[in-house]
Structure 1
Amino acid sequence: MTQPQRRYDLPTIIFGVLFIAIMIVASFWVVQPFILGFAWAGMVVIATWPVLIKVQHMLWGRRSLAVLVMTILLILLFVLPISLLVSSVVDNSTPIVSWVNTPGKLNIPELEWLRAIPLIGDRVYNSYHLLVSTGGAALIAKVQPYFGQTATWFVAQAAHIGRFLVHCMLMVLFSALLYARGEQVGMAIRHFAVRLAAGRGDAAVLLAGQAIRAVALGVVVTALVQSVLGGIGLAVAGIPAATLLTVLMFMFCVAQLGPLLILIPAIIWLYWTGDTTWGTVLLIWSCVVGTLDNFLRPALIRMGADLPLILILSGVIGGLLAFGMIGLFIGPVVLAVSYRLVSAWVNEAPEPAVEQQEVTEDREPS
């Protein structure tokens, strides 16, 4: 018996797809102000979920008490310090930009302490001043406008303090909700992924969670520890604007450039001003802080969760340009998740077993 051919109503299909597309766009338009806060909260909750489970066991299995404790910890250990650091950037921005942009303020140092270096001190000092007299001042005059533009750009990024604090508050709110209903939300996401791509979709969600935890623990926590320790060293050594320099140090550490880009100029400044004692102390402290990531990051990332340096660097810079300061956290996570998913998809296929020469010979016409 021949089955009758099913007829499709093309206008119905077109209008149905168009209606679904309009609903999707409208939904994203409505939730657009909350997307960054929710993404940030999701990253924080995924990274700290084991801590929540341990706290819940300590509090007699009460999830509500554990959520309350974790929310307070987020405010005290994460939101409040960042808010203070951003406020410090804004407070110190005006004198720094005005000092950099004022002609004649940016002078070449004398570096009298070079004379105290045994054997080569006088020669290095004379060579340095010979370089200065033959064009160093002109070089400073050419470079100074770029210093001003760079400082202004960093201040402009940090000046969005209102929006950044709103995202912080949204992050805390969404984190509390995700802590309370984490299992249900996770199961819903996995169910949606299975509906889209069966078992492969579920595996993709699990890989994404591993990448988020690797970035959060291995990159952000390491950068936070290094910047805090480096900031303590700057404050104890008497470096001006130590809080502002700590913010910049945290940004450099997240970008995998290390804290030495801030600590080394501070050491040079101490020696230049003649404070050799604190300069030596800060030098020794900088050696400890600068090498700390070699031990701390591998312990946090664990085996099999390491990520390429260029990926983290691109995520930090691109996230900072695209989203502002919150992009320091979201940018590396987005690239890390994409990298892990693409790697898993590529590794599903076997590696080529034929040599390149044989493939070339097979493709040549006989």
Structure 2
Amino acid sequence: MSFMDQPEPSAPRATHIARLTLAGLLALLGLWIAWTFLPSLAWAVVIAVAIDPMHMRLRARWPAGRTWIATAITLLVALVVLVPVAAGITQAAREAHDVSVWMTQAQANGLPLPEWVAKVPVGREMLTNWWQANLATPEGAVHQFHQLRAVADTRLIGTNVLHRSVVFAFTLLTLFFLLRDRESIIAQMRRAGDRLFGPTGERVGVQALRSIRGTIDGLVLVGIGEGAVMTIVYIVLGVPHPLLLGSVTAVAAMIPFGAALVFAIAGALLIGMGSVAGAVAVMVIGLVVVGIADHFVRPVLIGGATRLPFLWVLIGILGGVETLGLLGLFIGPATMAVLVMLWREFLETPGQAEEIPAAQ
């Protein structure tokens, strides 16, 4: 072989760099194309992780029922979400006529000052003046309702509902494939993690899954507890439909600031009945319960499942919600748990792993 026939020494390195560059560009392109559907993928993963113990028990009992089990669980998840939504829409449709008649009368005659305003302990005069200027006359009522319609633009609401419906449908579709092909997906993720990160890859995945399950347990258990406590408060203070509001509170407590909205509704009902003191009590007791649950009980439950210090659980929950919305409620603690685990492993040297205590 002549000298001219020998390959250049830099050829393998150049080929490797070209492959990495092409892979990186394709990965960025794929991420850009799938960007709209990333929340759906993340939600499907969170739901699959949460229900995996139940899923595996069903698979153990019916080993050959992989497809129909995945279908049944997906339909169950859809029903859990859609049935309450459908019930709320049906109830709203029933009351829409009464609300429309009330608004028409208010715009024609104005809204008289209600009796409960005289019982307001603070700001009574300011509230009275505002009501007289903005709602007591037909002109003021028309102006206020016009502004309300501008805020609640039906086109924006319709677009938002359509977008969320598409996201939810894609989430269900993704969930079905995650459940049906569970073993294959896990095997691929383990192989990829081992090739990229070595033994650390599997530990990162286990810690993230443990954190997501701990977060879900904390959300569900704390939400049920808040609903039970507030149901008793609603009964004692005479709030209409206390059991219904208690159930709604339990669900809303799993959503950041959701329970506070239910407290406001309960307070408004009490004010309409003339019980201003009861409305104030509902708001104060409710906010205290939510504060204790969200800042003490929930972080302890999540931190206990993930060995994550209290401060980092709180940062993961609040920072995740602020950054990613409701999805951040699960992603935030999982991210903090992985980071703290990597930090602990970084501090540990071979042979000294047991000498360095875990941070508490």
Alignment TM-score > 0.5, same fold: yes
Question: How many residues matched?
Answer: 312
1:237 lines up with 2:240 in the alignment: yes
1:309 lines up with 2:311 in the alignment: no
1:254 counterpart residue number = 255
1:338 counterpart residue number = 335
1:81 lines up with 2:67 in the alignment: no
> Aligned AA for 1:337?
A
Q: Unaligned regions of 5+ residues in structure 2, if any?
A: 1-7, 349-360
**Cα separation, 2, equivalents of 1:311 and 1:149:** 37
1:196 counterpart residue number = 196
Kindly tell me: are residues 319 and 270 of structure 1, through their superposed partners in 2, closer, same or farther at Cα, counting changes over 3 Å?
same
Q: Is the CA contact 2:212–2:334 (under 8 Å) kept in the aligned structure 1?
A: yes
Q: Is the CA contact 1:208–1:337 (under 8 Å) kept in the aligned structure 2?
A: yes
**Cα separation, 2, equivalents of 1:204 and 1:271:** 52
1:213 lines up with 2:228 in the alignment: no
**Cα separation, 2, equivalents of 1:65 and 1:205:** 27
1:347 corresponds to which of 344, 348, 357: 344
Taking only aligned residues, the RMSD between alpha carbons, in angstroms, comes to 5.3
Q: TM-score, normalised by structure 2?
A: 0.63
1:270 counterpart residue number = 270
**Cα separation, 1, equivalents of 2:262 and 2:78:** 27
2:75 corresponds to which of 55, 58, 72: 72
Aligned residue for 2:213, secondary structure, equals helix
> Aligned AA for 2:10?
Y
Correspondence list, 1:91-102, <5 A: none
Q: Is the CA contact 1:71–1:172 (under 8 Å) kept in the aligned structure 2?
A: yes
Q: TM-score, normalised by structure 1?
A: 0.62
Q: Is the CA contact 2:215–2:330 (under 8 Å) kept in the aligned structure 1?
A: yes
> Aligned AA for 2:187?
M
Q: Is the CA contact 1:226–1:250 (under 8 Å) kept in the aligned structure 2?
A: no
Q: Is the CA contact 1:230–1:246 (under 8 Å) kept in the aligned structure 2?
A: no
> Aligned AA for 1:19?
L
How big is each residue's C-alpha offset from its partner over 1:251-302, in whole Å with a ceiling of 9 and x where there is no partner?
Answer: 66422x46245325523542443379xx69x959x87x95795899589748
Aligned residue for 1:274, secondary structure, equals coil
Q: Is the CA contact 2:316–2:333 (under 8 Å) kept in the aligned structure 1?
A: yes
1:163 counterpart residue number = 163
**Cα separation, 1, equivalents of 2:323 and 2:57:** 35
Aligned residue for 2:304, secondary structure, equals coil
Q: Unaligned regions of 5+ residues in structure 1, if any?
A: 1-5, 115-123, 321-327, 352-366
1:129 corresponds to which of 110, 124, 127: 124
Q: Is the CA contact 2:118–2:124 (under 8 Å) kept in the aligned structure 1?
A: no
CA drift of 1:318 comes to 2.5
